[in-house]
C-alpha cells in the first residue's frame, strides 16, 4: 500500500472516531450540537489525531481504545479554534474547508457558542479515556497517571501558555517594530502547541520516558513552526480552490508574516532549515515509524 492510500485510510479511521464521539443533536439546546457537528465533521486533513496515534505506535502503544478519546479531543480543539478564527471580530472569513463558515450559517452568537462548546466537549471527551482502563489490570494505576499527564498537556497547550496565548499575540494592537522573535514565539504558541500536544500525548499514553517526551516536544515544535511559515507562503502563492479558504488574508488583515519580514525565497529557505532539524531529531529517536516520518515530511512540504 502506498503512502497516500495509507494516509487516506487513517483519515477515514479518524472520521469514524469523530462520528462516535461527536455530540448527539437532541434536546432543547440541539442547535449548538448541530453547529458543533457542522464544523467538526466538515472534513479537513485530520493530521493532528493521525500524528497522535502514530506517535503512540512509535513508542509501542498497545491499547488504541485509550488514545481514541484524545484523538477526537485534539480535533475538537483545533476545530473550535478555526470557528473562532473565522468570526468577524477575528479574521472575518466566510469560507473554511471549501464551504461557508459556522458563523455565516448559524449566526455570530452561535458561532461563539459552538466554539465554546467544542472546547469544553473536547475535555469531556478526553476524560473518557479513564473509562476504558481495566481497574483490575495490574497496570491500571500507571495508565491512570498517563491519562492524567496527557490531560495536563492537552489543557496547557490549548490555553494561555499555548494556542490561546498565541492568538492573543496575533490579535494584540502591537505598536513596536515587527520582529522575527515575536513572530516565532506567536507561531510556536498559536500553531505548534497543538502539534506538540498531539505528539506528546501519543508518547505519554504509550509510556515513553520523560526524555523522549521532551524530544518529541522539540520535534513537534519545529514541525509546527515550519508548518506556519509554509502557511504564510501559501497565503501568497496558492489559490482558494487549493487551500479551501481565502488567500491573501494576511495582507487584508495587515498581519506581520514571514513573507512580510523577508523575501519569499528566504521564507522557503527557513522552512527547509527548520524541517531538516526536525527530521534529524526524529531520526535520532531510538524508535522508528516510517509512515510518521513520511507524514511529517508531507505536513511541512504541503501545497494546501
Inter-residue contact 264 to 236 (CB < 8 Å): yes
- Give the residue-averaged pLDDT of 194-223: 97
Look-up: residue for cell 464521539? 21
Task: Specify the pLDDT at position 246.
Answer: 64
* Structure confidence at residue 236 (pLDDT): 83
* pLDDT value of residue 91: 85
> How far apart (Å, rounded) are the C-alpha atoms in residues 61 and 203?
8
Predicted local distance difference test score (pLDDT) of residue 242:
67
Convert the pLDDT of each residue in 1-55 to its tens digit. 799 999 999 999 999 999 999 999 999 999 999 999 999 999 889 999 999 999 9
User: With a threshold of 0.85, does the pTM exceed it?
Assistant: yes
What's the CATH code, domain 3-300?
1.10.600.10
Mean pLDDT, residues 100-114: 97
The ranges assigned to domains in the chain are 3-300
Residues 95 and 176 sit within 8 Å (Cβ to Cβ): no
Q: What is the mean pLDDT of the chain?
A: 92
- Report how far apart, in Å, the C-alpha atoms of 220 and of each of 183, 206, 252, 300 are: 17, 17, 30, 11
Amino acid at each position: 500500500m502506498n503512502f497516500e492510500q495509507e494516509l487516506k485510510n487513517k483519515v477515514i479511521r479518524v472520521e469514524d472516531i469523530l462520528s462516535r464521539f461527536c455530540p448527539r443533536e437532541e434536546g432543547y439546546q440541539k442547535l449548538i450540537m448541530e453547529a458543533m457537528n457542522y464544523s467538526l465533521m466538515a472534513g479537513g486533513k485530520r493530521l493532528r489525531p493521525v500524528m497522535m496515534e502514530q506517535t503512540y505506535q512509535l513508542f509501542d502503544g498497545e491499547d488504541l481504545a485509550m488514545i481514541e478519546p484524545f484523538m477526537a479531543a485534539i480535533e475538537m480543539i483545533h476545530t473550535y479554534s478555526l470557528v473562532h478564527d473565522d468570526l468577524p471580530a477575528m479574521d472575518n472569513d466566510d469560507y473554511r474547508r471549501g464551504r461557508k463558515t459556522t458563523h455565516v450559517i448559524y449566526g455570530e452568537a452561535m458561532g461563539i457558542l459552538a466554539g465554546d462548546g467544542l472546547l469544553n466537549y473536547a475535555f469531556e471527551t478526553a476524560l473518557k479515556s479513564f473509562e476504558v482502563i481495566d481497574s483490575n489490570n495490574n497496570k491500571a494505576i500507571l495508565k491512570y497517571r498517563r491519562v492524567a499527564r496527557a490531560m495536563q498537556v492537552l489543557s496547557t497547550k490549548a490555553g494561555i501558555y499555548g494556542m490561546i496565548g498565541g492568538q492573543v499575540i496575533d490579535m494584540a494592537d502591537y505598536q513596536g517594530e515587527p520582529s522575527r522573535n515575536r513572530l516565532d514565539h506567536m507561531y510556536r504558541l498559536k500553531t505548534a502547541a497543538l502539534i506538540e500536544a498531539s505528539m506528546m500525548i501519543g508518547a505519554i499514553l504509550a509510556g515513553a520516558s520523560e526524555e523522549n517526551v521532551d524530544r518529541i516536544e522539540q520535534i513537534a515544535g519545529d514541525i509546527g513552526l515550519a508548518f506556519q511559515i509554509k502557511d504564510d507562503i501559501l497565503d501568497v502563492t496558492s489559490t482558494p480552490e487549493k487551500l479551501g479558504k481565502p488567500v491573501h488574508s494576511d495582507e487584508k488583515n495587515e498581519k506581520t508574516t514571514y513573507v512580510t519580514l523577508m523575501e519569499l525565497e528566504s521564507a522557503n529557505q527557513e522552512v527547509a532549515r527548520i524541517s531538516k532539524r526536525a527530521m534529524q531529531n526524529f531520526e535520532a529517536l531510538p524508535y522508528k515509524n516510517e509512515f510518521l516520518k513520511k507524514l511529517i515530511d508531507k505536513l511541512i512540504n504541503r501545497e494546501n
